[in-house]
């Protein structure tokens, strides 16, 4: 993918991400949001390459806070971990305001924020409106972050030419598309030059097929393979997870249940890091 940010190096053999589905109700109203920030901080110390802030299975229609605010809190609480956030904008939201909100987070994170769009929900598949919405989100932000101007009505309906303020640190943001199972997300990713996030709870063979298909489609359009991250489903064995790494994907992403880990957050994330041999390259190991 053409981007001003560096892709992972060839010697980064075991890049792993941590996914935190943002929830509602229960302890979330009191403790959950602080736990998300704390989870990101611990994940960084344990050697995880990224933190994914997603909507999980509930979708953007559920009552949730603005993910921009959560991403901003995570950004100022960490230093190196990539902050990958599922967007929640609706068509009626002003694209310029959206671009400026994410630009603030880009500056707070020192250009570590990356944006995830979804063309459909799990078990539903992609729909034309979801594809159109994802395409519009990506193209609009890319246009505005590049410094292009747009027209806005001012006093007495006079038109003014305005641009994104503050300017992002990088004019070429990193985008990801969540692949929902029918291949349309893979096609759109190749068209828009984004990364692919394979999120369904699939078997190893199904994941391998999608990784190969993504590489073929991306290479056909862009002349090279794209970036692929894979969510590690609960049915995958440790050997199969290592097999996914061997497919050449950028990351294997492990989901953290904040509710289940309540009271043992550090232990839960450290266990994941040990299981995936991350501790040797973690900040904790370097500090010790």
Q: What is the pLDDT of residues 216-267, one digit of tens each?
A: 999 999 999 899 999 998 788 989 999 999 999 999 999 998 888 888 999 9
Q: The whole model's pTM is what?
A: 0.87
Instruction: Look at residue 6 and tell me if it is in a domain.
Output: no
pLDDT tens column, 30-47? 677 889 999 999 999 999
Q: What is the phi/psi pair of residue 62, to 5°?
A: -70, 160
The percentage of residues in the chain with a pLDDT greater than 90, rounded to a whole number, is 54
25-29, 115-119, 172-176: range with lowest mean pLDDT: 25-29
> What is the predicted pLDDT for the residue at 55?
83
Are 179 and 198 spatial neighbours (Cβ–Cβ below 8 Å)? yes
Are 219 and 225 spatial neighbours (Cβ–Cβ below 8 Å)? yes
Give the residue among 93, 60, 97, 53 at the shortest CA–CA distance from 75: 53
> What is the predicted pLDDT for the residue at 88?
83
Note down the domain range covering 181.
Answer: 16-121+128-149+163-287
Instruction: Look at residue 158 and tell me if it is in a domain.
Output: no
> Residue 144: which CATH number?
3.20.20.30
The percentage of residues in the chain with a pLDDT greater than 70, rounded to a whole number, is 81
> What is the predicted pLDDT for the residue at 283?
53
Q: How many domains does the chain have?
A: 1
Instruction: Look at residue 34 and tell me if it is in a domain.
Output: yes
122-126, 147-151, 239-243: range with lowest mean pLDDT: 122-126
Question: Could you give the 3-state DSSP secondary structure of residue 128?
Answer: helix
User: Which tokens go with 278?
Assistant: 């991350």
> What is the predicted pLDDT for the residue at 42?
97
Neighbours of 61 (CB within 10 A): 10
pLDDT tens column, 152-167? 888 888 898 999 999 9
Residue 12 above 60 pLDDT? no
Instruction: Look at residue 7 and tell me if it is in a domain.
Output: no
Instruction: Look at residue 185 and tell me if it is in a domain.
Output: yes
Average of per-residue pLDDT across 71-95: 92
Instruction: Look at residue 11 and tell me if it is in a domain.
Output: no
C-alpha distances out from residue 47 to 82, 95, 105, 277, Å: 11, 35, 22, 9
Instruction: Look at residue 5 and tell me if it is in a domain.
Output: no
Instruction: Look at residue 226 and tell me if it is in a domain.
Output: yes
């Amino acid at each position: 993918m053409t981007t001003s940010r560096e892709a992972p190096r060839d010697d980064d053999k075991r890049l792993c991400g941590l996914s935190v589905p943002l929830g509602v109700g229960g302890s979330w109203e009191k403790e959950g949001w602080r736990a998300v920030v704390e989870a990101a901080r611990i994940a960084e110390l344990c050697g995880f390459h990224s933190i994914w802030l997603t909507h999980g299975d509930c979708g953007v229609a559920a009552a949730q806070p603005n993910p921009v605010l959560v991403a901003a809190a995570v950004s100022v609480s960490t230093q190196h971990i990539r902050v990958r956030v599922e967007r929640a904008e609706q068509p009626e939201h002003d694209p310029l305001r959206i671009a400026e909100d994410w630009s603030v987070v880009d500056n707070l994170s020192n250009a570590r924020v990356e944006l995830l769009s979804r063309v459909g929900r799990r078990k539903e598949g992609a729909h034309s409106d979801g594809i159109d919405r994802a395409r519009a989100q990506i193209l609009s932000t890319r246009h505005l972050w590049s410094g292009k101007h747009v027209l806005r009505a001012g006093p007495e309906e006079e038109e003014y030419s305005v641009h994104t303020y503050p300017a992002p640190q990088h004019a070429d943001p990193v985008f990801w598309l969540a692949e929902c199972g029918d291949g349309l997300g893979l096609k759109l990713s190749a068209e828009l030059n984004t990364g692919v996030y394979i999120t369904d709870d699939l078997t190893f063979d199904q994941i391998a097929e999608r990784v190969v298909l993504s590489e073929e489609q991306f290479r056909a359009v862009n002349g090279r393979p794209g970036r692929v991250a894979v969510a590690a489903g609960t049915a995958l064995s440790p050997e199969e997870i290592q097999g996914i790494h061997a497919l050449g994907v950028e990351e294997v992403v492990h989901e953290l249940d904040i509710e289940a880990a309540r009271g043992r957050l550090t232990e839960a994330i450290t266990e994941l890091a040990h299981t995936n041999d991350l501790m040797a390259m973690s900040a904790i190991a370097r500090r010790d």
